């Protein structure tokens, strides 16, 4: 019925039917359902995620009522996984919700193959040792993994996926694809057949700026040995020429042309970002390559051949001052070129598929079309195994963070979040978890953290006493507001990973709940 | 410390923050069970809006040590709220948001008391807002933010040196989201910039020129706005368009389709029609959760001092990777809303009626149909009729007498102004001073009161 459409209207406007379909197909596994985990799932369940499996071995205690909305008085003493799961199910009956009363650590140790059934695992409140083990398991099984942890006024979110490729990265501000610096014959012809000198003032001010610029650039090139304006003086002269063509002060089309004249001066060809994608080793495809890389291989060929160094045309144009007729004509010309480029790429994709021994029709027209439309915006995200990062972080970056004022608190928390796990491994509780031995815990945590930094090859003196004290004060508390924030971020990243739209965050996000100067650390 | 490690407590996690001393805290922080109890008993928080942010805020505050909450919202629950407003279920559609939200949170968090107000924010008296320690805003409209901001700033008083009086500062936390983006901010009137000081952060929406709609439509949105803004009035003489009436929306959609066909323009859909006509802002649960949590955390910090506060504007953008940024905006010295107030100098003979007329003519104000309040007492009320009748006799009396014959004082005026071609409710703080009355009278009156 129409109901899900209405219910999901506000999010369909963001990720569309395809994004929604991907969410509804996904199965998510949650490890530990304290507030951080529960809040993460809540946001996904509301959005209509396919299925959830909640894993937690603990029983609800009185303390849980103070930080977790998904449990209440009647839950005390019962399985936390069961209570949280029941509440989540209440939020959206379209979601398949189930729970397993078991400790995640046990599952990681005894049943690693368990995780391979999921699209994505959200692992909350895990200590370092379990993170490392789970990460290896998920990487092997090709299951996406998101870590989330709340700890006092700090916390972290970290994605772990070998490779995540995005076609629909949907950047907010991206230069339109008008090709004014390199018009193709049909666009040139349209400009040629348009009379800029038309005497009727209404017609004069309704010639779209695209046509004005193509035509003027052509004229310029003819009188400048085929070159477009390149020096500052030339650019200014070009703009003055445009200004001189105005016959009235209110000609918005000419104002737009002057503002957009930089599009004529822009260098031809593809961006360095796209060049990097093309040069990626994965673009040398074989039968085991992902569809994405097969399309990149086709794009690479296209650039060298019929594209003449330009990516396939996007095909849509922004609104601009114009008569309806001119505008529709322009739209048609851009659309036709985009379609021709698409057909060329499609042909190359089919040929490549044949060559590597796969069904030439195994990639749908719709996907190739979307790839062409978004070719300039392709994104590739790769994540190190957490074990690699923990054992050998990028030292130059770490040094930089430690000495940069903007990063010092965030990187301090990063180190301390690791230090508390070492602490817990040695002393069987987190620093400050219980009242009493606070001073002793502070000095022990300091020794642990300095030792950790030393192991990484860094000077420990960069950690402030204040921050170490603060970490002990937190005593592993999972505050609801912090958990809701960390869970909110984790769920947002999950949505981006599953819909394959927008760009997931790189590195490790460290939440700084003291003054909100949180940071992404790329280690 | 008095507590033992094993004693189970509902505030197990929060106690770590509220009972233990810290180094990175506000100077006012006094850790201990007393602080925890004070939060419960004495700190009253008003949540404005029970939508995507409001639902989250109520939950977050209820689980952050606050016990006395109130929530105000004039809307009823719609199906399209259910993808993020997690306190509502399908069977709640049509019920007042504030009431359902309050009930759901109280059901789950025992001990919390939430008073719902199913009302327009403009319909509450200033007195109502003055009762709260902190106001948390979960709104999606600039007008509503502006109004609450003016209310909170109206309580602000300055000393003789134009320094804000600490006890008159009514702090606000404000959140807003759009898609994967959002902001959270802390407003301490008189100290950090108020909403109006940084109004440029919210530029008014760009409208299509009418001649484009009428003569040279190019996009689907042009066709839709033609049907909505031009064709509707042509056909339905006098009948106002109601965006919530599905019949009206259908009509606009059909007309837009016809126009698009006529001009060869693709892309008119029913969903786009709704989006354009109602100016729908896309919204998702995760972003609301992030922003509300940041606001709730700041509310806790303002109330307890348990950590530094956000200074003063946080932006979040999760669309391309993840970007957060804290910006320290500064106050606008001459802000009409959070500044010391506009000075109006009057003769002692000016009547209340004349004064109301002056506000309409005032070049900076243009406030029409003003109601006037002085120190919480209504001097003249335009509505409701009962109050109007009760206060009407004041109109012919000199304002000087009505204000207790003091030389200068703050007066609040509410009325309508025109902003961006739209009538808006405004609340304005005025410093009224009477000519020829010296400060001694002021002291005497104050002393004798
Ligand atoms: Zn201000």
* Cβ within 8 Å, pair B284-A493: no
Residue A519 belongs to what H/E stretch? strand A519-521
Within-domain flag for A348: yes
Q: Domain end: A265, A293, A308, which one?
A: A265
Within-domain flag for A172: no
Identify the CA nearest to B412 among candidates B342, B348, B360. B342
Can you say how many angstroms the Cα of residue B211 is from the centroid of all Cα atoms in its chain?
Answer: 35
| SS3 per residue for A335-396 | HHHHHHHHHHHHHHHHHHHHHCCCCCCCCCHHHHHHHHHCHHHCEEEECCCHHHHHHCCCHH
What the block records as the tokens of A351 is: 């040929």
- Looking at beta carbons, which residues of chain A come within 8 Å of B263? 324, 328
Residue B261, domain CATH: 1.10.10.520
Q: Say how many C-beta atoms besides its own lie within 10 A of residue B279's C-beta.
A: 9
**What pLDDT, on a 0 to 100 scale, did the predictor assign at position B438?**
67
User: With an 8 Å Cβ cutoff, is B320 touching chain A?
Assistant: yes
Measured in Å, residue A333 CA sits from the centre of ligand 1 at 51
Question: Is there a single domain that holds both residue B245 and residue B287?
Answer: no
Identify the CA nearest to B273 among candidates B240, B249, B241, B244. B249
Distance CA B104, CA B86 (A): 10
Half-sphere exposure for A292 (CA within 13 Å, toward CB): 17
Identify the CA nearest to A495 among candidates B444, B85, B289. B289
Distance CA B45, CA B295 (A): 12
**What pLDDT, on a 0 to 100 scale, did the predictor assign at position A125?**
98
- Looking at beta carbons, which residues of chain B come within 8 Å of A467? 24
User: With an 8 Å Cβ cutoff, is B82 touching chain A?
Assistant: yes
- Looking at beta carbons, which residues of chain A come within 8 Å of B17? 152-153, 473-474, 477, 479
User: With an 8 Å Cβ cutoff, is B273 touching chain A?
Assistant: no
Within-domain flag for B3: no
A55, A29 contact by CB (below 8 A): yes
Question: Is there a single domain that holds both residue B306 and residue B405?
Answer: no
Within-domain flag for A386: no
Question: Is there a single domain that holds both residue B383 and residue B354?
Answer: yes
- Length of chain A counted residue by residue: 523
**What pLDDT, on a 0 to 100 scale, did the predictor assign at position A389?**
97
Cα nearest neighbour of B180 on chain A:
A492
Measured in Å, residue B193 CA sits from the centre of ligand 1 at 5
Using CB atoms, pick whichever of B1, B17, B80 lies closest to residue A6: B80
Cα nearest neighbour of A174 on chain B:
B320
A372, A500 contact by CB (below 8 A): no
B 201-260 residues with CB < 8 A to A: 216-219
**What pLDDT, on a 0 to 100 scale, did the predictor assign at position B439?**
54
Distance CA A147, CA A389 (A): 14
The number of distinct structural domains making up chain A is: 4
Domain interval for residue A206: 185-265
Measured in Å, residue B362 CA sits from the centre of ligand 1 at 20
Question: Is there a single domain that holds both residue B81 and residue B223?
Answer: no
Beta-carbon neighbours within 5 Å of ion ligand 1: B 194, 196-197, 335, 337-338
Distance CA A73, CA A57 (A): 19
Question: Is there a single domain that holds both residue B95 and residue B217?
Answer: no
User: What's the longest Cα–Cα distance across chain B?
Assistant: 80
Catalytic residue among B55, B211, B295, B338: B211
Using CB atoms, pick whichever of A65, A502, A515 lies closest to residue B320: A502
| SS3 per residue for chain B | CCCCCCCCCCCHHHHHHHHCCCCCCCCCCCCCHHHHHHHHHHCEEEEECCCHHHHHHHHHHHCCCCCEEEEECCCECCHHHCCCCCCCCHHHCCCEHHHHHHHHHHHHCCCCEEEEECCCHHHCCHHHHHCCCEEEEECCCHHHHHHHHHHHHHCCCECCCCCECHHHCCCEEEEEEECCEEEEEEECCCCCCCCCCCHHHCCCCCCCCHHHHHHCCCCHHHHHHHHHHHHHHHHCCCCCCCCCCHHHHHHHHHHHHHHHHHHCCCCCCHHHHHHHHHCCCCCCHHHHHHHHHHHHHHHHHHHHCCCCCCCCEEEEECCECCEEEEECCCCCCCCCCCCCCEEEEECCCCEHHHHHHHHHHCCCCCCEEEEEEECCEEEECCCCHHHHHHHHHHHHCEHHHHCCCCCEEEEEEEEEEEECCEEEEEEEEEEEEECCCCHHHHHHHHHHC
Identify the CA nearest to A4 among candidates B84, B79, B94. B79
* Cβ within 8 Å, pair A489-B264: no
Question: Per residue of chain A (523 residues), what is the pLDDT tens digit?
Answer: 337 889 999 999 999 999 999 999 999 999 999 999 999 999 999 999 999 999 999 999 999 999 999 999 999 999 999 999 999 999 999 999 999 999 999 999 999 999 999 999 999 999 999 999 999 999 999 999 999 999 999 999 999 999 999 999 999 889 999 999 999 999 999 999 999 999 899 999 999 999 999 999 999 999 999 999 999 999 999 999 999 999 998 899 999 999 999 999 999 999 999 999 999 999 999 999 999 999 999 999 999 999 999 999 999 999 999 999 999 999 999 999 999 999 999 999 999 999 999 999 999 999 999 999 999 999 999 999 999 999 999 999 999 999 999 999 999 999 999 999 999 999 999 999 998 889 999 999 999 999 999 999 887 677 899 999 999 999 999 999 999 999 999 999 999 999 999 999 999 999 999 999 999 999 9
* Tokens 């999921």, located at residue: A118
What the block records as the tokens of A46 is: 């509301």
Question: Is there a single domain that holds both residue A18 and residue A103?
Answer: yes
* Cβ within 8 Å, pair B14-A66: yes
Residue A143, domain CATH: 3.40.50.720
Question: Is there a single domain that holds both residue A436 and residue A487?
Answer: no
- Looking at beta carbons, which residues of chain B come within 8 Å of A484? 56, 59-60, 289-290, 292-293, 296
Report chain A's C-alpha Rg in angstroms: 28
Within-domain flag for B321: yes
* Cβ within 8 Å, pair B10-A170: no
A296, A177 contact by CB (below 8 A): no
Strand, helix or coil for residue A202? helix
Measured in Å, residue B192 CA sits from the centre of ligand 1 at 8
* Cβ within 8 Å, pair B318-A172: no
Can you say how many angstroms the Cα of residue A513 is from the centroid of all Cα atoms in its chain?
Answer: 23
The number of distinct structural domains making up chain B is: 3
Distance CA B287, CA B291 (A): 6
Cα nearest neighbour of B109 on chain A:
A72
**What pLDDT, on a 0 to 100 scale, did the predictor assign at position B446?**
37
Question: Is there a single domain that holds both residue B78 and residue B222?
Answer: no
Cα nearest neighbour of B321 on chain A:
A505
Using CB atoms, pick whichever of B219, B320, B324 lies closest to residue A503: B320
Question: Is there a single domain that holds both residue B165 and residue B29?
Answer: yes
In chain B, which residues have pLDDT < 50?
A: 1-5, 440-449
Residue A105 CB contacts under 8 Å (≥ 6 apart), including other chains: A126, A130
Question: Is there a single domain that holds both residue B85 and residue B231?
Answer: no
Distance CA B373, CA A254 (A): 54
Within-domain flag for B381: yes
User: With an 8 Å Cβ cutoff, is B83 touching chain A?
Assistant: yes
Q: pTM for the full model?
A: 0.92
Within-domain flag for B440: no
Identify the CA nearest to A178 among candidates A170, A190, A168, A167. A190
Domain interval for residue B372: 342-434
Distance CA A335, CA A500 (A): 25
Question: Is there a single domain that holds both residue A118 and residue A37?
Answer: yes
Measured in Å, residue A33 CA sits from the centre of ligand 1 at 43
Identify the CA nearest to A271 among candidates A229, A303, A298. A303
* Cβ within 8 Å, pair B307-A153: yes
Distance from CA of A158 to the nearest CA of B (A): 12
Within-domain flag for A56: yes
Work out whether strand A96-100 and strand A51-55 pair parallel, antiparallel, or are unpaired. parallel
* Cβ within 8 Å, pair B180-A513: no
* Cβ within 8 Å, pair B86-A12: no
Distance CA A331, CA A193 (A): 16
| Phi, psi torsion values for B333, nearest 5 degrees | -55, -40
- Length of chain B counted residue by residue: 449
Residue B126, domain CATH: 3.40.50.720
Question: Is there a single domain that holds both residue B191 and residue B119?
Answer: yes
* Cβ within 8 Å, pair B63-A66: yes
Strand, helix or coil for residue A197? coil
Residue B26 CB contacts under 8 Å (≥ 6 apart), including other chains: B301, B305, B306, B307, B308, B309
Residue B420, domain CATH: 3.10.290.20
* B223 annotated active-site: no
DSSP letter for each residue of A250-270: T-HHHHHHHHTTHHHHSPPS-
**What pLDDT, on a 0 to 100 scale, did the predictor assign at position B162?**
84
What the block records as the tokens of A99 is: 């729970």
| E-strand stretches of A101-255 | 120-124, 144-151, 154-160, 163-166
Question: Is there a single domain that holds both residue B29 and residue B127?
Answer: yes
**What pLDDT, on a 0 to 100 scale, did the predictor assign at position A2?**
38
* Cβ within 8 Å, pair B63-A12: no
Identify the CA nearest to A367 among candidates A291, A293, A278. A291
What the block records as the tokens of A368 is: 């190739």
Residue A121 CB contacts under 8 Å (≥ 6 apart), including other chains: A28, A29, A30, A31, A115, A134, A138, A143, A144, A145, A146
**What pLDDT, on a 0 to 100 scale, did the predictor assign at position B449?**
33
Question: Is there a single domain that holds both residue B52 and residue B108?
Answer: yes
Question: Is there a single domain that holds both residue A327 and residue A234?
Answer: no
Within-domain flag for A304: yes
What the block records as the tokens of A469 is: 């004290």
Question: Is there a single domain that holds both residue A139 and residue A250?
Answer: no
What the block records as the tokens of B212 is: 């484009």
Question: Is there a single domain that holds both residue B245 and residue B131?
Answer: no
| Phi, psi torsion values for B76, nearest 5 degrees | -105, 160
Question: Is there a single domain that holds both residue A131 and residue A62?
Answer: yes
Angle at A327 between CA A325 and CA A329, to 5 degrees: 70
**What pLDDT, on a 0 to 100 scale, did the predictor assign at position B3?**
43
| Phi, psi torsion values for A363, nearest 5 degrees | -110, 125
**What pLDDT, on a 0 to 100 scale, did the predictor assign at position B431?**
86
Give A151's strand partners.
Answer: A154
What the block records as the tokens of B56 is: 């989250």
């Amino acid at each position: 019925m129409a109901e899900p459409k209405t219910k999901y209207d506000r999010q369909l406007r963001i990720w569309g039917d395809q994004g929604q379909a991907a969410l509804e197909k996904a199965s998510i596994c949650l490890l530990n359902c304290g507030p951080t985990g529960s809040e993460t799932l809540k946001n996904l369940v509301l959005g209509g995620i396919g299925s959830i499996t909640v894993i937690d071995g603990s029983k609800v205690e009185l303390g849980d009522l103070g930080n977790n909305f998904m449990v209440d008085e009647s839950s005390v003493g019962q399985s936390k996984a069961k209570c949280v799961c029941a509440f989540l199910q209440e939020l959206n009956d379209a979601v398949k919700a189930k729970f397993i009363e078991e400790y995640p650590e046990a599952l990681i140790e005894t049943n690693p193959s368990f995780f391979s059934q999921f699209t994505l695992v959200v692992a909350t409140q895990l200590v370092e040792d379990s993170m490392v083990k789970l990460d290896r398991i998920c990487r092997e099984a090709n299951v996406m993994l998101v870590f989330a942890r709340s700890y006092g006024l700090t916390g972290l979110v970290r994605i772990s996926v070998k490779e995540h490729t995005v076609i629909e990265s949907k950047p907010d501000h991206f230069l339109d694809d008008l090709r004014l610096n390199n018009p193709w014959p049909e666009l040139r012809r349209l400009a040629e057949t348009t009379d800029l000198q038309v005497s009727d003032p209404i017609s004069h001010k309704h010639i779209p700026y695209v046509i004005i610029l193509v035509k003027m650039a052509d004229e310029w090139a003819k009188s400048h040995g085929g070159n477009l304006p390149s020096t500052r003086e030339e650019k200014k002269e070009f703009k003055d020429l445009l200004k001189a063509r105005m016959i009235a002060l209110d000609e918005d089309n000419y104002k737009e042309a002057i503002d957009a004249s930089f599009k004529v001066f822009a260098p031809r060809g593809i961006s360095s970002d796209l060049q990097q994608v093309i040069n990626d080793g994965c673009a040398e495809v074989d039968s085991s390559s992902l569809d994405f890389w097969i399309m990149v291989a086709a794009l690479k060929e296209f650039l060298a051949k019929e594209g003449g160094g330009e990516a396939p045309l996007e095909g849509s144009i922004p609104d601009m001052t114009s008569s309806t007729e001119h505008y529709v004509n322009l739209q048609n010309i851009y659309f036709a070129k985009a379609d021709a480029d698409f057909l060329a790429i499609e042909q190359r994709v089919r040929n490549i598929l044949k060559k590597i021994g796969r069904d030439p029709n195994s990639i749908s027209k719709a996907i190739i079309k979307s790839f062409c439309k978004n070719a300039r915006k392709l994104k590739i995200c790769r994540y190190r195994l957490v074990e690699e990062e923990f054992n050998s972080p990028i030292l130059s970056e770490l040094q930089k963070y430690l000495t940069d004022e903007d990063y010092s608190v965030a990187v301090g928390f990063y180190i301390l979040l690791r230090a508390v796990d070492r602490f817990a491994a040695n002393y069987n509780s987190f620093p400050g978890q219980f009242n009493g031995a606070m001073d002793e815990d502070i000095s022990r945590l300091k020794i642990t953290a300095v030792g950790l930094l030393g192991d990484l090859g860094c000077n420990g003196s960069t950690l402030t006493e204040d921050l170490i004290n603060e970490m002990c004060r937190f005593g592993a508390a999972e505050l609801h507001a912090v958990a809701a924030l960390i869970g909110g971020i984790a769920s947002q990243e999950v949505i981006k990973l599953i819909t394959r739209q927008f760009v997931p965050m790189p590195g490790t996000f460290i939440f700084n709940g003291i003054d909100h100067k949180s940071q992404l650390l790329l280690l | 410390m008095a507590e033992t490690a094993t004693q189970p407590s509902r505030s197990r996690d929060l106690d770590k923050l509220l009972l233990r001393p810290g180094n990175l805290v506000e100077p006012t922080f006094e850790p201990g069970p007393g602080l925890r109890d004070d939060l419960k008993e004495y700190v009253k928080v008003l949540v404005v809006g029970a939508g995507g942010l409001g639902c989250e805020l109520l939950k977050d505050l209820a689980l952050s040590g606050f016990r006395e909450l109130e929530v105000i919202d004039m809307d009823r629950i719609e199906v399209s709220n259910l993808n993020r407003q997690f306190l509502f279920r399908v069977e709640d559609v049509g019920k007042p948001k504030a009431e359902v939200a309050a009930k759901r949170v109280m059901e789950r968090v025992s001990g919390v008391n939430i008073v719902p107000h199913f009302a327009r924010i403009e319909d509450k008296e200033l007195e109502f807002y003055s009762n709260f320690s902190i106001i948390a805003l979960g709104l999606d409209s600039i007008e509503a933010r502006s109004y609450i901001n003016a209310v909170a700033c109206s309580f602000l008083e300055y000393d003789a040196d134009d320094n804000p009086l600490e006890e008159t500062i009514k702090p606000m936390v404000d959140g807003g989201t759009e898609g994967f983006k959002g902001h959270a901010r802390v407003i301490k009137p008189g100290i950090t910039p108020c909403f109006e000081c940084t109004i440029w952060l919210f530029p008014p929406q760009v409208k299509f020129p009418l001649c484009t709609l009428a003569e040279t439509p190019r996009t689907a949105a042009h066709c839709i706005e033609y049907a909505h803004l031009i064709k509707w009035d042509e056909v339905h003489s006098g009948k106002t368009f109601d965006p919530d009436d599905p019949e009206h929306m259908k009509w606009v959609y059909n007309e837009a389709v016809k126009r698009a066909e006529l001009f060869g323009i693709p892309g008119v859909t029913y969903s786009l029609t709704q989006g354009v006509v109602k100016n729908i802002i896309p919204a998702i649960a995760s972003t609301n959760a992030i922003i509300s949590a940041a606001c709730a955390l700041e509310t806790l910090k303002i109330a307890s001092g348990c950590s530094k506060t956000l200074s003063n504007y946080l932006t979040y953008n999760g669309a391309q990777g993840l970007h957060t940024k804290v910006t320290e905006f500064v106050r606008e010295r001459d802000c009409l809303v959070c500044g010391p107030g506009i000075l109006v100098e009057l003769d002692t003979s000016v009547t209340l009626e004349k004064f109301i007329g002056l506000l309409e003519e005032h070049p900076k104000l243009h406030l029409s149909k003003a109601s006037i309040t002085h120190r919480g007492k209504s001097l003249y009320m335009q509505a409701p009729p009962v109050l109007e009748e009760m206060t009407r006799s004041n109109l012919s009396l000199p304002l000087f007498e009505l204000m207790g014959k003091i030389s200068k004082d703050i007066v609040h005026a509410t009325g309508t102004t025109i902003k961006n071609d739209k009538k808006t409710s405004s609340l304005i703080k005025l410093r009224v001073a009477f000519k020829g009355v010296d400060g001694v009278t002021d002291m005497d009156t104050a002393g004798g009161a």
